[in-house]
Chains A and B, each alone.
Chain A
């Protein structure tokens, strides 16, 4: 092969190499002063400058301002001495966007050993740099999150077998163990023995299947004290879908649990006391019942004897007795019978307290009509005017409310007995506290200074020979009204009639 042929072959080879290089790399050539003398297409493409805009310029045209002066100075010193420089440079394209190039600058020297020109070969590493930057940013974010989490929560990580591989400061603080004591252990080190085996079996079954477990756990610290943690355990899986590690995040809920336990204890104590009081009350009630039972049996028998034998004397020896003797025996009988009536009234009064209320809606209009019938309306042998207004229904025990109306209306009839015309008015006033029922009469009334005695058991404001009675009626009425959550009071004047007012439990008022 001739020299010329050899030269041609070499040139061809160089041309091929250059073509290949241009395909692959960003290439520029500058003169010793740094002025651009050549750029390939890739250089134009990445810098977004046209070749004409680049030729004759130096590289400051694409300077991004990212690198410090020393960086550039170091570059020039290296290549000025004829050394090859390699590095990563951030450049600025014509449109202001940035790109990164992995750069190799090779100086070519003249005969004097001075750089004749520099050939810079670059590779676009923008994508890699962005990824690196992204990674740095996300790593930073993750670290920030971790710092925040560590501030807030008790964190531990265990491996797939449950061995502790990481604990944060808060974990150490609450468990009172050092990190060294915890790492490599499993969670049995803080087991309080409070939870049954099934509790932890369920926990492990859940997380071993890759599911999140949430719950409240009572743990035992190194010093033997207990603490409660609200716990979330998140399993992280490997490529095979098997748990690789578990991250447990906990919050200290000891204070809340203690408060709950205190409430629980107080409730239990309260319940115990209620049971105790109920038992006491039941026992008192039983005693009262035994007492009434005995009264009802044993007190009546001698009275029957007093009455019976007085009558026997009258029957058998009446003719031999003077008139006064027979009269005295009748007085004895009358007293025995009156005491019998007192005992009966007292017993039914005491029964009022033991009897359960069975509340229903009560049609007051119908109830009052029935009671008036029962009391003998329209009283053909007397002049009685009864005015009944519209009465709202209410909620109550019908049998007991009937007793209220019977007593009040019987009283009204009794104490108007001496009037030529008895006037009895039954009505209802609407007041803020609800309906107020009333019974008004024009009877003998009473002195208001004795109003306080009106509802006492065996209290009477009239003499027996004027108006008969045992003094239990109004006491019974008041007891029934009170048991219904209501109130009773009276307004009266001597010889000026009386009005009895009563309310019933408020909630009953809107019940139709």
Chain B
């Protein structure tokens, strides 16, 4: 991540193929340069809370949306979600779950923890690409974010 680059979208995805397909979709939508990728739950939390390699970053600054997979190594997606929503500094960041699971208990638990949207990844690539592109455009271009109190 080059210094000073503004990151608006955090993509949390461990599956390399899904990641490549998502990045391809973001690139085609012209959103890839404002995206940071985290490959597991620990990395996602480090980025969001500016710990470890991200110590210089400003918590909550500029992050407009987090696309979060649920099945993640180390710390799973629901736990990442819970910690983000527990912290007053990060609670306001919109989180969209983007997962393969259509299990009702995942859906229910994610909403209970305060997600903004729940998207089941379609097998059909065109639909998947469309979903990623629409999410990016909606949250980065269309949606009005809250003013961050520093």
Contact = CB atoms under 8 A, between A and B. Distances in A.
Interface of A: 292-293, 296-298, 300-305, 307-312, 333, 336-337, 339-341, 344, 347
A420 B8 CA distance: 57
Contacts, number: 66
Contacts of B17: 301-302, 304-305, 308-309
A300 B126 CA distance: 15
A336 B101 contact: no
B123 A307 contact: yes
Contacts of B15: 301
Given A292-B103, A296-B101, A341-B123, 7 more contacts: A298-B71, A305-B18, A308-B20, A308-B24, A308-B128, A309-B21, A333-B124
B102 interface: yes
Contacts of B121: 300-301, 304
B26 to A, nearest CB: 14
A297 B71 contact: yes
B125 interface: yes
Interface string B58-88: 0000000000001100000000000000000
By Cβ-Cβ distance, the 7 closest A-B pairs, closest first, are: A340-B123, A305-B17, A308-B125, A308-B21, A311-B125, A300-B100, A307-B125
Given A297-B71, A337-B123, A340-B123, A305 B21 contact: yes
Interface in B98-146: 99-103, 121-126, 128-129
Given A309-B17, A312-B24, A336 B103 contact: no
Nearest to B28: A315
A336 B100 CA distance: 15
B57 to A, nearest CB: 30
Nearest to A355: B104
18 contacts: A292-B103, A293-B101, A297-B70, A297-B101, A298-B71, A301-B17, A302-B17, A304-B17, A304-B122, A304-B128, A305-B17, A308-B21, A308-B125, A308-B129, A312-B21, A333-B125, A336-B123, A344-B102
Contacts of A300: 100, 121, 123
A300 B122 CA distance: 9
A247 B71 CA distance: 79
Contact of B18 (A293, A301, A311, A347): A301
Interface of B: 15, 17-18, 20-21, 24, 70-71, 99-103, 121-126, 128-129
Contacts of A307: 123-125
Contact of A304 (B70, B101, B103, B123): B123
A340 B15 CA distance: 17
Main secondary structure of the interface of A (DSSP, over half): helix
A88 B15 CA distance: 126
B119 to A, nearest CB: 13
Contacts of B129: 308
Contacts of B122: 304, 340
Contact of B124 (A293, A296, A312, A340): A340
Contact of A297 (B21, B24, B100, B124): B100
A4 B125 CA distance: 166
Q: Which of A292, A301, A302, A333 has the most CB of B within 10 A?
A: A301
Nearest to A294: B71
A311 B70 CA distance: 25
A297 B123 contact: no
Contact of B21 (A292, A304, A339, A340): A304
Contacts of B101: 293, 296-297
A296 B103 contact: yes
Contact of B102 (A296, A333, A336, A337): A296
A304 B132 CA distance: 14
A259 B41 CA distance: 62
B124 A337 contact: yes
A353 to B, nearest CB: 14
Contacts of B99: 297
A288 to B, nearest CB: 12
B103 A293 contact: yes
B126 to A, nearest CB: 7
Nearest to B22: A308
Contacts of B126: 311
Contacts of B18: 301, 304-305
Contacts of B20: 308
